Structure 1
Amino acid sequence: MSIVKFKPTQVPAPFAHLFDGFDFIGRDQHASVPAVNVAETPEAFRVEVAAPGLRKELFTLNVNNNVLTIGYKQEESKEETSEKYTRKEFHYSTFQRSFTLPNTVEQDKIEAKYTDGVLNILIPKRDEAKVKAVRSIEIA
């Protein structure tokens, strides 16, 4: 997400005085999707979603028809009023990522934890899908 500084000089001259003394910061209008890392271990798949500054309670995780969907939705509005002006700001932050899960995972045992700006999702494998240790066979 980029930050764009609003310059009162961009406002037609008759209205410029309305913005005297204000330093506006606006958000880019393009949606941003967090980076995702997926790693496989012998016991599970680990998914890490880089999402610093987001609120844990606004995430959604769903599994439906072998598809894991990670979502986030935040809506904010702010209004300031004084004798000379009324300013309203609205901000919407939303994203959604979906991943097809292999049939070898335990969908009922998926766990998620949000720590230090990273959403960590653990998707355990079924016992039959876990990598077995190499067994040496003695030749007679």
Structure 2
Amino acid sequence: MTLSKWNTNHELSDLFNDLFGNASNEQMKQRKYECAPSTNIIEKNDGFELHMAVPGVEKKDVKINMEKNVLNITSEKEAEKEDEGTKYARREFVYGTFCRSFTLPDTIDTEKISADFKNGILKVNLPKKEEIKISKEISIS
């Protein structure tokens, strides 16, 4: 049996291939959002809070609307103008549009929904309707 010294150079080469891939700069330029922004939905006693991560997106580019019981959140981010002399080794910032839709339960008070945008996080407050008492005690006169 012949023993040979392990060569780690190919591992380093594979790492760089993984990092820089085979995609051309032109392909990377054309990339659009491949998935919707990450979202957390937190249930509280008085309602829900929706937190959506939208880094690099400005408040003015985010639109929220309600259609029946569906909450729609959309945004469009235009690609930044590129300097002619700029040559990217890798370009992963993505530009384009996204739309997330959430079907809200009937327990949400759609008239009181509010939103806040800070540091790339969109927070939507979805308060629950006040419970209507079904039973009522009636006094006898």
1:29 to 19, 23, 31: 31
> What is the TM-score with the length of structure 1 in the denominator?
0.62
Q: Does 1:49 align with 2:52?
A: yes
1:75 — aligned with what? 78
> What is the TM-score with the length of structure 2 in the denominator?
0.61
Identity %: 33
Q: Does 1:106 align with 2:109?
A: yes
1:108-123 paired onto structure 2 within 5 Å: 108-123=111-126
Cα deviation code 1:75-106 (max 9, x no counterpart): 24636679xxxxxxxx8421000000111111
Mark the CA change 1:68 to 1:99 in structure 2 (over 3 Å): closer, same or farther.
same
2:65 — aligned with what? 62
SS where residue 72 of structure 2 aligns?
A: strand
Which sections of structure 2, spanning at least 5 residues, go unmatched?
A: 1-18, 86-93, 133-141
Which sections of structure 1, spanning at least 5 residues, go unmatched?
A: 11-22, 83-90, 130-140
Mark the CA change 1:92 to 1:30 in structure 2 (over 3 Å): closer, same or farther.
closer
Greater relative contact order: 1 or 2 (C-alpha under 8 angstroms, separation 6 or more)?
2
Corresponding letter in the other structure for 1:68: L
**Partners in 2 of 1:4 and 1:59 — Cα distance?**
32
The structure with more radius of gyration? 2
Mark the CA change 1:77 to 1:41 in structure 2 (over 3 Å): closer, same or farther.
closer
Do 2:32 and 2:95's aligned partners in 1 also have CA atoms closer than 8 Å? no
1:90-101 paired onto structure 2 within 5 Å: 92-101=95-104
Q: Does 1:125 align with 2:103?
A: no
Corresponding letter in the other structure for 1:73: E
**Partners in 2 of 1:97 and 1:103 — Cα distance?**
19
* Segments ≥4 residues shifted beyond 2 Å: 3-7, 74-82
